[in-house]
Amino acid sequence: TDGIDLAVVAGDGIGTEVVEQGLAVLEAALAPSGTKLSTTEFDLGARRWHATGETLTDEDLERIKGQDAILLGAIGDPSVPSGVLERGLLLKLRFALDHYVNLRPTRLFEGVTSPLADPGEIDFVVVREGTEGPYVGNGGALRVGTPAEIATEVSVNTAFGVERVVRDAFARASARPRKHLTLVHKHNVLVHAGHLWRRTVEAVNAEFPDVTTDYLHVDAATIFLTTNPSRFDVIVTDNLFGDILTDQAAAISGGIGLAASANINPDRTAPSMFEPVHGSAPDIAGQGKADPTATILSVALLLDHLGYTQESVRVQDAVAADLAERGDVVRTTDQVGRDIAARVTG
């Protein structure tokens, strides 16, 4: 079909503010080609849960499945018990729509100050598995609240699930100039899952002989992310390690205000979802000071995924130019959105 049908889930806290700017930039990017953008807002998150007790109904899910993509702001609020919206809404979307590639690019833009004294060039992408690992929710508790309590969280790793995400990571590495892939795991302790990941990387490497690989235990990976982040090109890792490493990746490259992500269904059996890595930040919500750049960079990932390559590059270039000129200047949410949209329009 012509144009883009976009599901918009602004969500909680600063989600509404950053999504508004993301949409403004998306409109600006699509204007020259006359591409029609039809947005459908979904009332999901803390407000809806308080009002109805619902997180994400089957009906919501069916309607979302009919869209081309999802733009999500942030989910979570201190007034809702921890885990209710995370599991019942955000992770439910990722699992139900089979977002097995959680793509998190990290780049230290010119004009942005890294907390590292000597960051060097930072330009890598984390391919975080999105539908397995401890996030599956396979576990339980016995004798809760007693001194004999036992709590388990089981990490689920299937040959099918590991292979498909590893293949995707190889393909991305193969398309990049440095063609290097680092597997991050902890196979000296997590031997069952660790060896499955290691064997899979070895096997799939045969399909991508141009890609070099190496391996790091996750604890060592955190050291190198601090001491020598330029050694990384593509990182492939499981859901939980990827969650942790991408917050560190954001921190070394200017903070979570700049960190974009894509939850991709590479088989296109359902819409992919684009969201900033950051959360709803209730402490600064409503003050107009959230940085919408992470959402705007997520919009660039959205455009790229839907095949609007030129438009995606335009948005990325606009962000890069904006940061190069004003990266360390404190601006309001709308100001940043306006500045970037103006550069996109040209």
Q: Which residues are catalytic?
A: 135, 186, 219, 243, 247
Q: How far apart are CA 311 and CA 302, in angstroms?
A: 10
Concatenate the DSSP letters of all residues of 58-75 into one string: HHHHHHHHTSSEEEEEE-
DSSP annotation of 256 reads G
The contacts of residue 238 (CB under 8 Å, 6+ apart) are 128, 129, 132, 133, 155, 157, 185, 193, 197
Determine the number of helices (DSSP H) and then strands (DSSP E) in the chain: 12, 12
90 binds, among Mn ion, ligand IPM, none (CB under 5 to 8 A by kind): ligand IPM
- Closer to ligand IPM by CB, 8 or 91: give it: 91
60 belongs to the binding site for Mn ion (CB under 5 A): no
153 belongs to the binding site for ligand IPM (CB under 6 A): no
The contacts of residue 115 (CB under 8 Å, 6+ apart) are 251, 252
Look up residue 81 and give its amino acid: P
The contacts of residue 64 (CB under 8 Å, 6+ apart) are 7, 42, 70, 93, 97, 271
Nearest approach, Cβ of residue 261 and Mn ion (Å): 9
256 belongs to the binding site for ligand IPM (CB under 6 A): no
290 is in an annotated binding site: yes
168 binds, among Mn ion, ligand IPM, none (CB under 5 to 8 A by kind): none
- Closer to ligand IPM by CB, 197 or 274: give it: 274
5 belongs to the binding site for ligand IPM (CB under 6 A): no
* Residues 102-161 interacting with Mn ion (rule: CB under 5 A): none
* Residues 273-292 interacting with ligand IPM (rule: CB under 6 A): 277
Diameter over CA atoms, the chain: 65
238 belongs to the binding site for Mn ion (CB under 5 A): no
* One of 17, 132, 238, 243 touching Mn ion (CB under 5 A): 243
291 is in an annotated binding site: yes
The contacts of residue 271 (CB under 8 Å, 6+ apart) are 7, 64, 65, 67, 68, 69, 70, 97, 265
Stretch that binds Mn ion, among 49-57, 103-111, 189-197, 236-244 (CB under 5 A): 236-244
Positions in the binding site for ligand IPM (CB under 6 A): 86, 90-91, 243, 277
Show binding-site residues.
94, 104, 128, 219, 243, 247, 279-291
Contact residues for Mn ion, defined by CB under 5 A: 243
